[in-house]
Structure 1
């Protein structure tokens, strides 16, 4: 990928490469420091009209007025190689998308369009839906952070959606309303593989319609419901049951959905979904408790096939008993366990180590116990237990944001672990040259 330099200059050098069909220029991102006004748009589009190399063009963050959008639409109709585009800033709006829509409809190569945070409303979505009816290739749409609401989703939830595989509708001001659009979304989006509805308020009848729609989502592989807030309702149970019925499901994110201890066990049933593919289930920050942990463990123990499974339960009010129940899991398919910000693990570290030394978590490759208020003595005990052969499959251990890493003997203990278990990567600090940790959260 080539990035335009972050300095105030034009695009002449890039235009020259586009005109010459530079074989190394397959992806181009223009940083905000580049001038990309009306004149530069024309220059780039003139070069792209006949270009047969560039596959991705991103100029998000640059102002794109309707006349410039119209010119880019003409290019989309002519170019036969562009697969992914991202254009305009929050001022693109409905008028800009309406101007761009004819090019989306005419393009024979465009597969993905990034329209995140572009000030788009219902009129713009309606124009996009119209373009989808004629588009032979568009399968991925990002509409995150646009105020389209339920009316906008309804504009899109039509037969034209049938070819789309990836749809991102994160933080789109869904708000109040009947929620019928959610059922229609999956009724017509029968090819959807990945859907993001995170950071929207889905409550009341909207949860019921979401559950009904999910029963139709036979191709769905990933669903993100982060912070949708549907809470501890019977309708939320219906969502869990619908997810468990899906044959292709591989990832469900319900982080911060407020499902609570009563509904939490229902989501453990997602582990029994009909897919035999790897599965990730994220129930972080939901105030789930022991009942949910028991349901998760029971689901794992009852599996008749070994499937790679990742579970996130961080940020919940789990007690020491729940932690030990999780540590006792011997199911070989459990590959990843995330307990970030679960302070009770520091209260039962001795028993935790005894359990894993006896064969618990033997298939786990990644364990996240960052932010668990663990002191040095507890971390040292864990390291010694691992050095003794516990968790033989472990490849990644996250201990960042624990106060014990500040101890003056921590790095010596860490070095001893690394010398004995060379297969384990311990992520604890961005300043550690041996660590791949890119961002260390602070102690909660």
Structure 2
């Protein structure tokens, strides 16, 4: 590659160059070889779990000393179950069909020229993320299955855990026919390393940021490499007037309390006034029993005086915590208007027995995932059957919602002729 002699400087440049070379090998790797590598990676996580947990414990202690908020601490923490789920995600990827080489379209011209549209890898993916060690494994597995190399740059709060995970993956790949250099971890804690990574056109093909709004804004603003933007999750549930009370309570409690620190947890509850008059106090009390701080508009507090006051700032906030503001609305249209104003286009839900209301809501709400009578917690690559996800896109091009293997590919036109000329 022209200018390769200039690539011997920083850690970022060295690792991007190495990843580019590995990507060329991965692009032509056979499906069987990629699947063998994924199985080896899953096994390595369990084999090296003691070292991984030890590194994670150190990161957690440092995070506690640094005063990391509970949401980040929850995302940083690895448990035996979470590590097993990461390994299972790799095994699910192994069982999925290889997207590379899939013929998306084929047509033949009158002169016999055959034109095929074929799925191909993106190349080298730059991944920038905060306190999410699971992303290290998910991104590596997804990238490899789609024939890509990946350059990872996690936050300093998870540096030891990310290093231990990457070392385990390297040991696994070293025993296969695929290059262990396909997974690169940038360990330089300097913020300049991020800027360097997101401006490495020609070496990095796409940047995917996962983290808070500040990180995502910075990457989108500064990157000269194309960005697949993942978004924060200011998610809503609208309880319509015809909603079954037991169903509504179960869905809302799950969406708020199952894992409040993740982006698909509900952050605002919109309630039709008719339903609220009958059932709102009971729902509020059950949430409080689960440790949730209930906040509410003036109409909510009139029905449930124990609620704290909610205002404009609450509607705009992704709490990532056991906090849930309520707002009573007069109609479905009012609920949609609220979501249009404050939503982050991530996941929105309606609970209703009225099919017309459900259709109106699902067509009218601007979001990557829209639910009818189900928890927003399902917006997740593994739950959607993708094996894992590299992020949840809240934009429309080129991917939207949970991004799995196929979203990490592009396409190429391949034209077969018998001597045709124009």
Q: What TM-score, normalized by structure 1, do the two folds share?
A: 0.25
Decide which structure has the larger Cα Rg and report it. Answer: 1
Q: Considering Cα pairs closer than 8 Å and 6+ residues apart, tell me whether 1 or 2 has the greater RCO.
A: 2
**By percentage of residues, which structure has more helix?**
2
